[in-house]
A and B are shown apart, each in its own frame.
Chain A
Amino acid sequence: MKTNAAMKVLAAHRGDAVVVCALGTAANEWWAVTRSEDSFYMHGAMGFAASFALGLAVSIPETPVWVLNSDGSLCMNLGCLLTEAGQQPKNLKHFVVDNQCYRTVSNMPMVNQNGADYAAIARAAGIDRTMTVDDAEELDRKMPEINAAPGPYFVRLRVEAEPEYRRPPPFSYEGPEMKYRFGRALEKKLGIKVFGPTGF
C-alpha cells in the first residue's frame, strides 16, 4: 500500500472527524489529498501530534478526532500511548503511517527498521482496539468498523517506503495563519469559542 492510497481511503471515510497530522509524511500527504483547513498540520514538536490530538479530543468529546501519526514521530514519544490509554478517549482514533523510514529526509532507515510491531506496543500500553493494515482495499473495508468502534483505536498503516518518492506540493499557509484557519474552522464547524472577543 502506498501512503497516498491510504490517505485517499482515510479521506473518503473521514466524515466529521477533526484531523491532526504529525509533521512530515503524514501532514504532507493528507494536505495533498484533502487541502483540508479543518486539519492541523504540525510544523514542529516531532513526536507530539498524538498528545496534541489527545488534548483536543478530550476538549471536544462529542466530535471524532483523528491523529495521523508516523512511525518516526511515534518513536520520539512512545509514552503517548500510555497517556492515551490512561485517558481512554472514546472519540480518538490514532493512525500511524509505518513506512519503516524517515521519508522526508531521503528515506533514511527507521531505528530497528522492520523489527517493531507498533500495534502490539499500543496493545501492551493499554489500548485494546488495534489493527495493522497493509492493503488499501482492506483499509477501505475496515474503515466503517474503525469509525463505529469507540476509541481509543490504534491503526498501523503498513505502507511502502517508496524510494522514488516525490515531495507533495507545499502548504500554502503556515505558522500563525494555520492556527487561525484551524481555530476559525473549528469555531464554525463545532459552534465553540476558540478565540476571545478581541481575537486572541
Chain B
Amino acid sequence: MLQTADVNDQIHAQLVKAGVHLAATLPDDWLNGLIRRVARDDGMRHIPVGREAEAIAICAGAFFGGARSVAIIGNTGLLTCTGEMATLCLRHAIPVFCVVSERGSIDDHMIYQEVQGRRTIPLLQAYDFPYRIIDSVDEIETIPDAYEWHRLQKRPFVLFLTKKLLRLKKS
C-alpha cells in the first residue's frame, strides 16, 4: 500500500461529519486508499462507476433525494467531465462535491499527467468552478466547512488532495 491509512481515515471521518453518506468513485492511484476506506463504511452507499461523468450525475441526482454525496475521482477524470459539470450542474445550479487527486503537480512526474498539471486549474477558473487544495493533515478538518460552502455556491466544487498530504512515495 502506497499511503498510510491514517490520512484516509481522517478524510473519510470529515466527509461523514459533513453528512456525506453516498460516494460515487472511480479509481486513481492516489485515491485508492480513500476509496477502499469509503467502501468499508457500511453507512456509506458506495457506487463504483465506469466513467467520471457518471459520478457527477449520480451526485446531482442524489442531491434531489436529500442525500449528501461525494464524487471521488482522479484529475484526468475531472477533465473528462467538465462538460457535464457545466451543462448539468451549472445549468441547473446543482452543487456537487468532488474530491480529486492533484495529479500533475510539481512532485508528480508521471508523463501522462503533464497536461492535467498545467491546465486543470485554468480550466476550473474558466468555468468558475470553485476549488481548494488540501496539502496538510491540519487542513482536513476544513472539509465540513467546504461542504457547506459548496452547497451555498450551488455548483461543482473541487477539493484537491496533494501528493504530500496522501504521503505517497516519490514517483
Question: Which B residues lie within 8 Å of A82 (CB)?
Answer: 50
Q: Which of B5-13, B60-68, B128-136 contacts A (4 or more CB under 8 A)?
A: B60-68
Q: When the two chains form their complex, are residues B51 and A79 in contact, meaning their CB atoms are under 8 A apart?
A: yes
Interface string of B16-56 (1 = CB under 8 A from A): 00000010100000000000000000000101111101111
Q: Which of A6-14, A55-63, A97-105, A149-157 contacts B (4 or more CB under 8 A)?
A: A55-63
Question: Which A residues lie within 8 Å of B49 (CB)?
Answer: 51, 79, 83
Interface residues of A in 11-62 (CB under 8 A from B): 20, 40, 42-49, 51-60
Assuming the contacts A45-B53, A52-B58, A179-B94, asked whether A59 and B86 have C-beta atoms less than 8 A apart, the reply is no
Assuming the contacts A175-B92, A179-B94, asked whether A56 and B54 have C-beta atoms less than 8 A apart, the reply is no
Q: Report the interface size for chain B: residues with CB under 8 A from the other chain.
A: 36
Check: A183 CB closer than 8 A to any chain B CB: yes
Q: When the two chains form their complex, are residues A200 and B92 in contact, meaning their CB atoms are under 8 A apart?
A: no
Within the complex, what minimum Cβ distance (angstroms) separates A48 from chain B?
Answer: 4
Q: When the two chains form their complex, are residues B64 and A40 in contact, meaning their CB atoms are under 8 A apart?
A: yes
Question: Which A residues lie within 8 Å of B55 (CB)?
Answer: 51
Q: When the two chains form their complex, are residues A55 and B24 in contact, meaning their CB atoms are under 8 A apart?
A: yes
Q: When the two chains form their complex, are residues A48 and B64 in contact, meaning their CB atoms are under 8 A apart?
A: no
Q: Which of A115-123, A126-134, A190-198 contacts B (4 or more CB under 8 A)?
A: A190-198
Q: When the two chains form their complex, are residues B91 and A44 in contact, meaning their CB atoms are under 8 A apart?
A: yes
Name the CB-closest residue of A to B153.
Answer: A200
Within the complex, what minimum Cβ distance (angstroms) separates A55 from chain B?
Answer: 3
Within the complex, what minimum Cβ distance (angstroms) separates A93 from chain B?
Answer: 15
| Chain A residues within CB distance 8 Å of chain B | 20, 40, 42-49, 51-60, 77, 79-80, 82-83, 86-87, 175-176, 178-179, 182-183, 186-187, 192-194, 196, 200
Within the complex, what minimum Cβ distance (angstroms) separates B26 from chain A?
Answer: 10
- Complex Cα spacing A148 to B23, Å: 29
Q: 12 pairs across A/B with beta carbons < 8 Å?
A: A45-B84, A49-B57, A51-B58, A54-B47, A55-B67, A58-B47, A58-B67, A59-B66, A83-B48, A179-B93, A186-B65, A200-B151
Q: Which of A45, A56, A87 has most chain B Cβ within 10 Å?
A: A45
Question: Which B residues lie within 8 Å of A77 (CB)?
Answer: 51, 53-54
Question: Which B residues lie within 8 Å of A54 (CB)?
Answer: 47, 58, 61
Question: Which B residues lie within 8 Å of A48 (CB)?
Answer: 53-54, 56-57, 84, 88
Q: When the two chains form their complex, are residues B22 and A55 in contact, meaning their CB atoms are under 8 A apart?
A: yes
Cross-chain contact of B54 among A40, A43, A83, A176 (Cβ < 8 A): A83
